[in-house]
Structure 1
Amino acid sequence: MLFKRKTLFNEQDLPSVLDACKIGNHQAQRCLIRQFLGYAKSISVRYAASFEEAEEIVDDCFLKVFQNLEHYDAAQPFKAWFRRIVINTAIDYYRKNLKWQGQASLDDLEVADCSHDILNEISAQEILALVQRLPPAYRMVFTLFVIDGYSHKEIAGMLGIQEGTSKSNLRDARRKLQGMIKLNFPHLYQLYNWPNKGFNAN
């Protein structure tokens, strides 16, 4: 009787883990998840409105990774390929739920752009909590542009919107963030937002 030989891989050698994943080795797949779960969560949580949404994005992300691993070019860094899949999965999640997402108003805020000085005084966890409270369209553009470094042209193509819409969503996201900072961190807002500071609103 012939037994199927177990595929060997080295957990410390990513190419061997990927090769084993390609042929459906569940142990290798669990190994890959362990290695990249934290990284996937750190990206998805920036695009999600909650940690529960982020978990859904991560689950879908790994499913797509295993489904598309044959298309991965081993000559390119795996982490960059993986990162793009996480971001694309977050965008797909956003599009899928778009019909349920209302566009929140700006509550007639008349304030300057969000000051980097203020953001430097707020912890990463506090900034994340504020970003998660942005309306979905604002959060998506803000994260793609400010955090992940995509251009407005790239964002427009990724989200299927006009460049002008991307720019206006970014502007409104920053205004919304500053409104929340004013509400939640009034001492910082007063310290860094004197009328004569002349903040740039690009």
Structure 2
Amino acid sequence: MANPPSIQALPDLLAGCLRHNRRSQEMLYRQFYGYAMSVCLRYTQTREEAVEVLNDGFLKVFTKLHQYDPAQPFKPWLRRILINTATDYYRQAAPHYYQNDLHAAEHLMSQEADALSGLSHEYLLSLVQQLTPAYRMVFNLYAIDGYSHDEIATQLGISVGSSKSNLARARENLRLLLQKKTSDEYGRVAR
């Protein structure tokens, strides 16, 4: 049986990446793929978009690695690049997105929701992914990543008021989707 590939120490991997060593780049990508994908999935509507953001983000990591301060933890630096890449992607794609109304989102949820799954991580992620792109971006930046409304407004090129409004609407839409799931499950049990 073949031995699994050894995990190199992060400083060695980063040094190899700075020398443009393709093997080191591949190993860094593989080592942080799961973490990076989880960040990207929160900011995109589909897995394909998340993969695109992830790959663009790693390209930025490899080209900007000389700016990384090794005295600081690597994961937050990587996360910041991925979030910035996702917001760049959103700004470029926003004019092409169409806005799903709440009823369409509810219809999709009723098809995908499994009554036995409870509120799993995957289910909650699917709810967030059903938000309109503007609501999803603000919700993730504020509720998950801890950005202030001022930072969100600057990052997305919107007003602070729009950031607050989008957050309130995102929360309301999520509340309605969760309420719909609860009533659907209650209706199935009561029958």
AA partner of residue 173 (structure 2): K
**Cα distance in structure 1, aligned partners of 2:186 and 2:12:** 52
1:16 is displaced (CA, Å) by 1.4
**Cα distance in structure 1, aligned partners of 2:124 and 2:89:** 22
Tell me which residue corresponds to 1:161. Answer: 158
How is 1:30-179 mapped onto 2 (pairs within 5 angstroms)?
30-105=26-101, 122-179=119-176
Residues 141-172 of structure 1 deviation map (CA, whole Å, 9 limit, x = unaligned):
00111111111111111111111100000000
What TM-score results when the alignment is normalised by the length of structure 1?
0.77
- Secondary structure, counterpart of 1:102 in structure 2: coil
CA contact (8 A) 1:181 1:189 kept: no
Q: Which has the higher helix share?
A: 2
Q: Which has the larger radius of gyration?
A: 1
Tell me which residue corresponds to 1:181. Answer: 178
**Cα distance in structure 2, aligned partners of 1:52 and 1:130:** 17
**Cα distance in structure 2, aligned partners of 1:144 and 1:186:** 29
Percent identity for Structure 1 against Structure 2: 51
**Cα distance in structure 2, aligned partners of 1:106 and 1:170:** 16
**Cα distance in structure 2, aligned partners of 1:11 and 1:27:** 12
Any gaps of 5 or more consecutive residues in structure 2? Answer: 1-5, 104-117
**Cα distance in structure 2, aligned partners of 1:145 and 1:186:** 28
**Cα distance in structure 1, aligned partners of 2:149 and 2:185:** 30
What TM-score results when the alignment is normalised by the length of structure 2?
0.82
Residues 62-82 of structure 1 deviation map (CA, whole Å, 9 limit, x = unaligned):
111001011111111111100
Residues 69-124 of structure 1 deviation map (CA, whole Å, 9 limit, x = unaligned):
111111111111001001001001101101112345567xxxxxxxxxxxxx6221
Any gaps of 5 or more consecutive residues in structure 1? Answer: 1-9, 108-120, 191-202
**Cα distance in structure 1, aligned partners of 2:47 and 2:100:** 21
> CA RMSD for the aligned pairs?
2.0
- Secondary structure, counterpart of 2:89 in structure 1: helix
AA partner of residue 94 (structure 1): Y
The alignment covers a number of residue pairs equal to: 168
- Secondary structure, counterpart of 1:161 in structure 2: coil
CA contact (8 A) 1:103 1:137 kept: no
1:185 is displaced (CA, Å) by 2.5
Residues 174 and 188 of structure 1, relative CA distance in 2, 3 Å threshold = farther
- Secondary structure, counterpart of 2:79 in structure 1: helix
CA contact (8 A) 1:61 1:89 kept: yes
**Cα distance in structure 1, aligned partners of 2:42 and 2:98:** 19
